[in-house]
A = this chain, B = another copy of it.
Amino acid sequence: MTDRIPSAVPGPGELSEAELAQRLQARRQWLGDTDFAYDPPLEPVRGDGVYLFDSAGQRYLDMHSTVPSMGHGHPEVVSAIAAQAATLNIHARHLNNVVEAYAARLLGLFPAPLGNLVMTCSGSEANDLALRLARLVTGGKGIIVTSGARHGSTATTAEISPGLGQPLPAHVRTIPPPDPSLAKGAALGPWFAARVREEANVLQKTGAGFAALVLESGFAFDGVFTDPPGFLTEAVSAARQAGGLFIADEVQTGFGRTGMFWGFSRHGVVPDVVTLGKPMGNGYPMGGVVMRAQHLARLNASAPYISGCGGSPVAAAAGMAVLDVIETEKLVRNAVRSGEALRKGLRRLARSFPRIAAIRGAGLLIAVDLVMPETGAPDPGAARRAINALQRNFVLVCSATPCGHTLQLRPPLSISAEQVAQFLEIFGGVLATLE
């Protein structure tokens, strides 16, 4: 860890406790209380590939960020943004070759009949528009989501995000995550589909009607559930039989994260609507809703989607550069390989450390459950201590499950075999010292 970079910015690592308190106080004055990712908070000042650097020049292996899937500060994406922003950045109500070429290329990555695109400024806006579409098309209002899901920060998407901890309105019904241990020996697909049918019935009985089943393709906020491949098939059929659309939220899993270009492909299903965000612009704020032609026509007939910045040529240029990078650097294949190496190494660690109760995931979306070795009970305290110990060892991971006993590993898709080995070595050391 010798990559010390010069910086005039004092980071928390260099501040005394009193100075840090003063810095936090100043921040609180303008921005209110921040839900910091680490305690004490980290202050990265530079990013490069899979690494973040703090103001002291200390390098951190980033196994945490979901937005810069192509790597921090990817030069090709940055250049594309800079060049297009200097040339033309304008709203979407003109002809524009960059935007049209991006739409054509992106949509070429989807199965029929998913052939139309609306571009937004965020994944939240994409999910928000998808809900509007589903309600317009079905005439129903009710939505089914998993109990830990988060689908966005607009009023409408926060309403379908039980993972945010707010009370849900009556027209939002939750089902348990597709966790094989909950199915108690039953086949996961039919068990999960039965939950969808039950809640669709409830929605129809209450008069809310059923508009859509909205599932994040990797169930990241529920704790990552990706196996067995294909388990979504029955649930999707059940949703359609009940008159609802199936909306695949690919804000986290899209663009190669799970070792396939789209998370839903793992299950052999074709969604009615797909929503995109985070990695789409590798940090440039953009999102998208992919749908079939007649749904877009229906939406436009209701009210055209107007956005000052959504669908701009700069967003398209960023998106195009992301697709180029994925292709040139073979990132989907790397997600498969590095993901396999990571899970293999984790399974090896699990043989030595009974704290690891389960390893789940696909590609580079991986969950590790930590439990009490004696009882096997979920141990969120151990997860918290592991996250902080990893940070002290300059590795960033996070926990994103309702119970908090699950570590999530989701590094940039460009992570190398050496960096995977480096992580496993440090994680082994942390597990060895974990109280």
Chain A residues numbered 268-289 whose CB sits less than 8 Å from any CB in chain B? 277-278, 283-286
- Kindly state whether residue A172 has any CB partner on chain B within 8 Å: no
Report which residue of A47, A68, A87, A312 has the largest number of chain B beta carbons within 10 angstroms of its beta carbon: A87
Q: By the criterion CB–CB under 8 Å, are B314 and A283 in contact? A: yes
For the complex formed, measure the closest distance between the CB of A147 and the CB atoms of chain B, giving whole angstroms: 16
Q: Evaluate contact between B156 and A44: CB separation under 8 angstroms.
A: no
A263 at the interface (CB under 8 A from B): no
Query: Could you give, for residues 280-305 of chain A, a 1 whenever the CB lies within 8 Å of some chain B CB and a 0 otherwise?
Result: 00011110000001001101101111
Q: For A72, what are the chain B residues with a Cβ–Cβ distance below 8 Å?
A: 88-90
Closest to A311 in B: B31
What 1/0 mask marks residues of chain A from 148 to 182 whose CB sits below 8 Å from any chain B CB?
A: 00100111101000001110000000000000000
B307-A30 in contact (CB<8A): no
**Interfacial chain B residues near A120, Cβ < 8 Å:** 122, 153
Stretch among A93-101, A186-194, A337-345 lining the B interface: A93-101
Q: Which of B43, B121, B131, B306 contacts A121 (CB 8 A)?
A: B121
Q: Looking at A65, A93, A103, which has the most chain B CB atoms within 10 Å of its CB?
A: A93
Within 8 A of B (CB), among A114-128: 115-118, 120-125, 128
Using a CB–CB cutoff of 8 Å, the interface residues on chain A facing chain B are: 9, 11-12, 23-24, 26-27, 29-38, 41-47, 52, 65-68, 72-73, 75, 77-78, 81-82, 85-97, 99-100, 103-104, 107, 115-118, 120-125, 128-129, 131-132, 150, 153-156, 158, 164-166, 251, 277-278, 283-286, 293, 296-297, 299-300, 302-312, 314-315
